[in-house]
Amino acid sequence: MPKTIKKVGVLTSGGDSPGMNAAIRAVVRTCAYHNIECIGIYRGYQGMIEGDFKEMGPRSVNNIVNKGGTILKSARSVEFRTPEGRKKAHENLVKAGVDALVVIGGDGSFTGGLIFNSEYGFPVMGIPGTIDNDIYGTSHTLGYDTALNTVVDCIDKIRDTASSHNRLFFVEVMGRDAGHIALNAGIGAGAEEILIPEEDLGLDRLLDSLQKSKASGKSSSIVVIAEGDKIGKNVFELKDYVEANLPEYDVRVSVLGHMQRGGSPSCFDRVLASRLGVKAVESLIEGKSNYMVGLQADKVALTPLEQAIKGKSEIDRELLRVSDIMST
């Protein structure tokens, strides 16, 4: 018989993303709907170790669905990576009467939850929260859609300046290991070239592409670059290389940085967070553990945490083809 769940703990860990608050709200209110207690764990796994808990009810999550970031805060916890740290965390959860955990975060957060479960048999359910959209088992992670809209809005503004001054802009977006933001936002914003970690465009092809753009009559260009792209050591060295080889271009760099993580979540992210939060709690009630709730073919589905961690989120090859056609 599965363990009866009477109290659920919810935490956010790793990098924040728009939609985390909406997911917290969904977890808390789903618990209330099923007459289960809920506690918020502040500062992720570090808060578990320090016993930084707060009882949460339906009214404690009023007016947060529209807020970016996370009201529960987030922190990296070196101590939780040790058996001693996890032992303290477990003792605090038992003392507080917590029966199961909902972890909102990325693969690092899920890895911590999986190890914790293996040591203590503690039920864990994951909700993917990261703007990079780089987690296997879901077509969308929380915050990804909002980040895309933020990036497209920024590039639209940059294009106004690029067109006014006949400039080439390199716009660097987040995506150390995955080019989902760069690829989708690049297509959406009409970028002339998109550089992502999954595809090594090469310097020669980039120069050739920019020369063709110039010859075709384009007076300004936007190149979107994922921060993990392998074509240059960094975007500023790439700028210097292009200026040295194509002196006719006036090149500027814009690094969008952490503004991509902030802001009010889009409607899509709010609805997704609500769906995933409900599924996470109800799956724990059903006796399930060590799963991530995600979106597959627009349906909420469960993926084993181990698969979510080890699997690779693939780039859409059809979108690469679309990008090539659109840059003509």
Is 29 labelled as part of a ligand binding site?
Answer: yes
317 alpha carbon, distance to own chain's centre: 20
Structure tokens given for 217: 């009559």
Q: Are strands 124-128 and 100-105 parallel, antiparallel or unpaired?
A: parallel
Nearest to 13 by CA among 39, 37, 38, 48: 48
Is 105 labelled as part of a ligand binding site?
Answer: no
Is 28 labelled as part of a ligand binding site?
Answer: yes
b/e map 49-63, b = 16+ CB within 10 Å: bbebbeebeeebbee
Can 177 be counted among the known catalytic residues? no
Is 258 labelled as part of a ligand binding site?
Answer: yes
Distance between CA atoms of 7 and 194, rounded to whole angstroms?
47
Is 202 labelled as part of a ligand binding site?
Answer: no
Is 81 labelled as part of a ligand binding site?
Answer: no
Is 270 labelled as part of a ligand binding site?
Answer: no
Residue 11 bridge partners (DSSP): 41, 103
Is 162 labelled as part of a ligand binding site?
Answer: no
Which residue type sits at 110? F
Is 179 labelled as part of a ligand binding site?
Answer: no
Is 175 labelled as part of a ligand binding site?
Answer: yes
> Catalytic pick from 16, 52, 99, 132?
132
The beta strands (E) that lie in 56-119 are given as: 100-105
Binding site per annotation, positions for ADP: 25-29, 159, 190-192, 218-220
Active site residues: 132
Binding site per annotation, positions: 15, 25-29, 76-77, 106-109, 130-132, 159, 167, 174-176, 190-192, 218-220, 227, 252, 258-261
